Structures are given as structure tokens and as C-alpha cells.
């Protein structure tokens, strides 16, 4: 990863320079390949957005909480993976940003920033340590305290029920997501969450980025549970089958999601009046040329990336091209499955960072090893900056969320929203992640609290939402990834996405505001439309 990134740096620096020149050149500029309009920060504030549009920032349990073995929490597959030294920097989430102990101070910082909402996730093995059965009161209590703290400042809790960290006990017992037994255990777990927290939590997400988890965990072996089969993984995994398991895991995620939504709708929603959805990683894929092959390849890529999970939810089946290519390796939905699957969401979360240009890669069918997701989709990808990937996923996984290599493509968020409108009946959507990383490895651009690039990135993407809203896209909210520096899923402690810096070298894990905190605070302060009087509970 480091090697890939360092190759990218020169291009990125040039690209950002190019971008800054354009943004500061005037109020309204044409940007790159798109005709989108970028508005300078002086002219952009939340007043430009509908009054009920939600602005927030996010995190996830394993990435910020720490206290991994405290108060009865047992391991998730992430603990096992990091303790086996499988992350690039050998980091673990044992302490992470220590939010488990510092949540009160963090909520104060959120309030000072003017966030409407905080997106966080619940650690399943903190509240049900063995994955099913006994509930851990201390674990339950932590989230009650966090939610109460948020509510006392008028900050909405937007809660992800499963953000990659499946209990290790279920992995040991029946290989977690690979077994249909998972569905029942997941449903019992979310039942506890709805029952305990649903009076205060009005926005639930079942899974975060199932399209990354299936690929990283079951095809490439780069994410927990680290399964893959030769020659498909990025390393030799001790277990797995890359040709089938990503699709089986994805299928069980969809059925678990549908069961959770069904439970919420029949048992809780009427009374609690919340909403429930799922959050997908949502890159945009533009054809590299106008050739029919490349156009078809970019459509195929979108179907394998977004359609894999969204087609079943909206249209009731996997995309036709996936069924054709994956064939008998793709599980079928029964009539009974479909009863609860189709339409099982109130909103769709989108994690949107960037775009790729896609080129067709002729399919190989001659191989004794068969085909995995990568060969099934058979495309190659190109970043805006001209860096060619060997194939889409190998590059994506190697560089996942590494903002250092992320070109700034605010038009990609518009393309994704337009695609949701045209192909998926314009569901209510929320940008659940968007943000910019700086890495420790990049000497020309060391992490700094003077994070001009991050400000430019966030501003450009937020501004890009306005033409989409005017264009009829049903977009309801935007969350920066991340509220504070995290243990990153790719890159551990070498990638920093936070608005707040966390000093990971220091036991206290002190927080320091980067300049982007000031920018977001100013952006959010130009309001007056929302009654934030509950904020008076906090005075410095």
C-alpha cells in the first residue's frame, strides 16, 4: 500500500494544486470533466440546504472505542484479525481513540461544532459477548450513556448495527456470515438494540458497506475474517473459497438485513417512529472511453458494486448481469425471502469518496481455479490522476479509503445520486461517509492540523450536493468521515481522516482540532433555522 501511495503522491499534489487554483479563481467554475458548479466557502453554508437536511460526522465502534476487553466485552473478528498482526501497521483497536472513556468530552466537541447528528456503531460483542444469549448490562449501559449524552445536547444518534465487527464466537461456531444461522442471531441482537435504544434512536443502519466486507473478508482476505483461496487473495489465506464465499456472505447479509427491517417494522416502528436502512460503499464508475466495451464494463462494475445489494432491495433480485456471469455460484432468493427483502429500507446510506474510469478487461474462462469476483467483473480501473490499477478491486483494497491517493471528484457524488434517481426510484439517501485522509507515510504532505486539503475536499463535495438537490435527488443528509482520527480499516493508524486529531502516541489520546473543525463549525453556524436551545446545557 505504501508503495502504491508514494507513486501516487506526485500526481495528487499536482491535482490538488490544479483544483485549488480553480476554486479560488472565481465563484463559479467549470470543474474538470464535469459541468458541476463549485461555490467558494464564503458563499456556502447550511442555509443553502433544506432546513431538515442533517449534517453530521461519523465513526464506528472498533475504530474509536478501545476498551476492547473491558466490562465484559468479548472479541469480534476484528480483534482476532488485528491481534494476529494482519493489519499493515500491526495496529489494533485495543485502545483506539479511547472513546469508551472519553465519550462525554467528545459529545461536547460535537456540540461545539454544531453537529446535528453523530453516526456511530454498536459493538455486538460488547452487548452480547457470545454473539447470542446473555446480554451484558455494562455493555448496554455504555450505549445508553452515549445516546443520553447526545440527546442532552440535541444531537441525533444515527446508529449502525453492524460495522464489520461480527462476534468471534459466531465465527468460531458456524463461520459467521457464511451460515444462514447468522440471520437468527443477528435478528435477536438487533431486537435488543431496538428495544433498549429505540426510544431515542430514530435512524438505524443494519450493515455498513457489505460490498466492501464481502470482498475484503472473503475474496481478497484483507479484512476479517481474512478468508480467500489461491490464487485470488492478496496473501495465502488458511481458509476460504474466493469463488463462492463472497456471494454466500452477501446473500446472508441481505437476508439478515431484511429480517431486521421486518422485525423493526412489525414490532417497533409504529411506536418508535424511526427509520431503518443500509449503508453501501458507493464509488462512481465512469467508462474510460466511449467504446461499447468500456461503457458495458462500467455498467457491469456498477451492478457488481452497488446493484449486488441494491437491486435485491429495490427490484427483488440480483442484477441480470451478475446472475448471468456468476451463475450457480450466486445463491437464489426463494419466494419467501422476497416477501421481506423487496422494499426493506426507508433510506439508503452511501459512502462516497471518489470515482474510477473503467476499462473492459477480456474475461478469462480457461482457468483451473475458476473465477472470483474480480474475474467475474473483469474490468480495470483508472483514477482521475491517470494511475492505472491492475484490476479494480486489487487497487481498491490496497488503497481503500487512503485519501492520499484519492483524487477530488465532487462530480462523482452527483453521478451516484443521479444513478439512484434513475435506476433505483430515487430512494431517500444519506451520504454516510465522505472525507479525506492524510497519511503518515507521505513525507511531502505530513499530517497537519492545517488541513487545507481536507477543507477543500469536504467543501467541494458538500457544494456538489446542491445541484443534485435542485435536480430532484432525494438526498437527506451528509456525514463527514470521520469525527476524529480512527483506527482505519485500511492503514490502521497511518491514515488520518479525522476533523479532530487524536494523539495516538500518547496514552491520554488527547484531541486537537484541525482547521477543518473551524471550517465545518462556521459552515454549520450560519443557521438559526433549528432550535438548538438544548445546547445551553453546555457552557465553557
Given the rule CB under 6 A, which residues bind ligand NAG?
36, 230, 235-236, 328, 331-332, 414, 418, 422, 450, 452, 467-468, 471, 531, 533
Spacing of C-alpha 485 from chain mean position: 15
Beta strands 475-481 and 54-58: pairing type? parallel
Nearer to ligand NAG, 361 or 420 (CB): 420
What's the rounded Cα separation, in Å, for the pair 135 and 139? 8
Please report, for residues 21, 30, 119, 279, 420, the alpha-carbon distance to residue 415 in angstroms, rounded to integers and kept in the order given. Answer: 24, 16, 24, 17, 9
286: its cell numbers: 465512469
68: its cell numbers: 476492547
Write down the least CB distance from residue 470 to ligand NAG, Å: 8
What's the rounded Cα separation, in Å, for the pair 290 and 296? 10
Q: Residue 30 class from Cβ within 10 Å (0-12 exposed, 13-18 middle, 19+ buried)?
A: exposed
Write down the least CB distance from residue 331 to ligand NAG, Å: 5
Nearer to ligand NAG, 9 or 187 (CB): 9
Say whether 433 is catalytic: yes
Nearer to ligand NAG, 37 or 95 (CB): 37
Cell 411506536 found at: 271
Residue 154 phi/psi, 5-degree rounding, is 75, 20
Write down the least CB distance from residue 37 to ligand NAG, Å: 8
Say whether 404 is catalytic: no
Nearer to ligand NAG, 411 or 481 (CB): 411
Q: Which of 484, 480, 485, 486 is nearest to 455 (CA)?
A: 480
- Torsion over CA: 109, 115, 116, 118 (sign): negative
Write down the least CB distance from residue 452 to ligand NAG, Å: 4
Write down the least CB distance from residue 465 to ligand NAG, Å: 9
Residues with Cβ within 8 Å of 270's Cβ and at least 6 positions away in sequence, in order, are none
CB 425 within 8 A of CB 314: yes
Write down the least CB distance from residue 366 to ligand NAG, Å: 19
In 3-state terms, the chain is what percent helix, strand and coil (to 5)? 45, 15, 40
Among the listed residues 286, 433, 453, 501, the single catalytic one is: 433
Write down the least CB distance from residue 483 to ligand NAG, Å: 22
Write down the least CB distance from residue 248 to ligand NAG, Å: 10
Q: Residue 238 class from Cβ within 10 Å (0-12 exposed, 13-18 middle, 19+ buried)?
A: exposed
User: Looking at the DSSP assignment, which residues form a beta bridge with residue 500?
Assistant: 484, 513
Nearer to ligand NAG, 158 or 415 (CB): 415
Nearer to ligand NAG, 55 or 232 (CB): 232
Q: What is the DSSP string of 174-221?
A: H-GGGSTHHHHHHHHHHHHHHHHHTTT--EEEEEE-HHHHHHHHHTS-
What's the rounded Cα separation, in Å, for the pair 292 and 305? 20
Strand order in the sheet with 379-382: 284-287, 355-360, 379-382
What's the rounded Cα separation, in Å, for the pair 540 and 534? 15
Spacing of C-alpha 20 from chain mean position: 27
Q: Which of 220, 226, 288 is nearest to 1 (CA)?
A: 220
Rounded to a whole number of angstroms, the distance between the first and last alpha carbons of the chain is: 43
Nearer to ligand NAG, 391 or 418 (CB): 418
CB 62 within 8 A of CB 78: yes
What's the rounded Cα separation, in Å, for the pair 282 and 348? 11
Nearer to ligand NAG, 230 or 538 (CB): 230
Nearer to ligand NAG, 38 or 379 (CB): 38
Among the listed residues 149, 171, 209, 456, the single catalytic one is: 209
Write down the least CB distance from residue 159 to ligand NAG, Å: 25
What's the rounded Cα separation, in Å, for the pair 227 and 215? 10
Give catalytic residue positions: 209, 433
Amino acid at each position: 500500500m505504501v508503495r502504491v501511495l508514494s507513486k501516487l503522491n506526485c500526481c495528487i499534489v499536482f491535482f490538488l494544486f490544479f483544483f485549488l487554483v480553480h476554486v479560488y479563481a472565481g465563484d463559479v467554475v467549470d470543474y474538470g470533466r464535469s459541468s458541476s458548479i463549485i461555490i467558494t466557502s464564503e458563499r456556502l453554508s447550511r442555509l443553502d440546504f433544506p432546513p431538515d437536511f442533517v449534517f453530521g460526522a461519523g465513526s464506528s465502534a472498533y475504530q474509536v472505542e478501545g476498551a476492547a476487553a473491558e466490562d465484559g466485552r468479548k472479541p469480534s473478528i476484528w480483534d482476532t484479525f488485528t491481534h494476529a498482526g494482519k493489519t499493515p501497521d500491526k495496529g489494533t483497536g485495543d485502545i483506539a481513540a479511547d472513546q469508551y472513556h472519553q465519550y462525554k468530552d467528545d459529545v461536547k466537541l460535537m456540540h461545539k461544532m454544531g453537529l446535528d447528528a453523530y453516526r456511530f456503531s454498536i459493538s455486538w460483542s460488547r452487548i452480547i459477548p457470545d454473539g447470542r444469549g446473555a446480554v451484558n448490562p455494562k455493555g448496554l449501559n455504555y450505549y445508553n450513556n452515549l445516546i443520553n449524552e447526545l440527546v442532552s445536547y440535541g444531537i441525533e444518534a444515527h446508529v449502525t448495527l453492524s460495522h464489520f465487527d461480527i462476534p468471534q464466537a459466531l465465527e468460531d461456531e458456524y463461520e459467521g456470515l457464511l451460515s444462514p444461522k447468522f440471520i437468527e442471531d443477528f435478528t435477536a441482537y438487533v431486537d435488543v438494540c431496538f428495544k433498549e435504544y429505540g426510544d431515542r434512536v430514530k435512524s438505524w443502519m443494519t450493515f455498513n458497506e457489505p460490498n466492501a466486507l464481502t470482498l475484503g473478508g472473503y475474496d481478497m482476505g484483507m479484512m476479517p475474517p481474512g478468508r480467500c483461496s489461491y490464487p485470488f487473495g492478496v496473501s495465502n489465506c488458511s481458509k476460504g473459497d474466493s469463488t463462492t464465499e463472497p456471494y454466500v456472505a452477501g446473500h446472508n447479509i441481505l437476508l439478515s438485513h431484511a429480517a431486521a427491517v421486518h422485525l423493526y417494522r412489525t414490532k417497533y416502528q409504529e411506536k418508535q417512529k424511526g427509520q431503518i436502512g443500509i449503508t453501501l460503499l458507493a464509488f462512481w464508475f465512469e467508462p474510460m472511453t466511449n467504446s461499447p466495451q468500456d461503457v458495458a464494463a462500467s455498467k457491469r462494475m456498477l451492478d457488481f458494486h452497488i446493484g449486488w445489494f441494491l437491486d435485491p432491495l429495490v427490484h427483488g433480485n440480483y442484477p441480470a448481469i451478475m446472475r448471468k456471469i456468476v451463475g450457480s455460484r450466486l445463491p437464489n432468493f426463494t419466494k419467501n425471502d422476497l416477501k421481506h427483502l423487496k422494499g426493506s429500507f426507508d433510506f439508503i446510506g452511501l459512502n462516497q469518496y471518489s470515482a474510477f474510469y473503467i476499462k473492459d478487461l477480456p474475461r478469462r474462462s480457461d482457468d483451473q481455479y475458476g473465477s472470483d469476483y474480480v474475474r467475474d467483473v473483469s474490468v480495470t480501473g483508472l483514477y482521475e490522476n491517470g494511475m492505472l490499477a491492475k484490476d479494480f478491486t486489487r487497487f481498491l483494497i490496497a488503497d481503500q479509503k487512503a485519501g492520499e491517493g484519492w483524487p477530488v471528484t465532487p462530480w462523482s457524488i452527483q453521478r451516484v445520486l443521479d444513478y439512484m434517481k434513475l435506476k433505483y426510484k430515487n430512494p431517500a439517501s444519506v451520504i454516510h461517509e465522505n472525507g479525506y485522509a492524510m497519511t503518515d507515510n507521505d513525507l511531502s504532505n505530513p499530517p497537519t492540523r492545517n488541513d487545507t486539503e481536507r477543507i477543500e475536499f469536504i467543501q467541494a463535495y458538500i457544494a456538489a450536493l446542491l445541484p443534485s438537490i435542485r435536480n430532484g435527488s432525494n438526498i437527506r443528509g451528509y456525514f463527514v468521515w470521520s469525527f476524529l482520527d480512527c483506527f482505519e480499516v485500511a492503514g490502521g493508524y497511518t491514515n488520518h481522516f479525522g476533523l479532530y486529531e487524536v494523539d495516538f502516541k500518547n496514552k491520554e489520546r488527547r484531541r486537537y482540532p484541525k482547521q477543518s473543525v473551524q471550517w465545518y463549525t462556521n459552515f454549520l453556524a450560519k443557521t438559526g433555522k433549528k432550535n438548538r436551545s438544548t445546547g445551553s446545557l453546555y457552557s465553557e
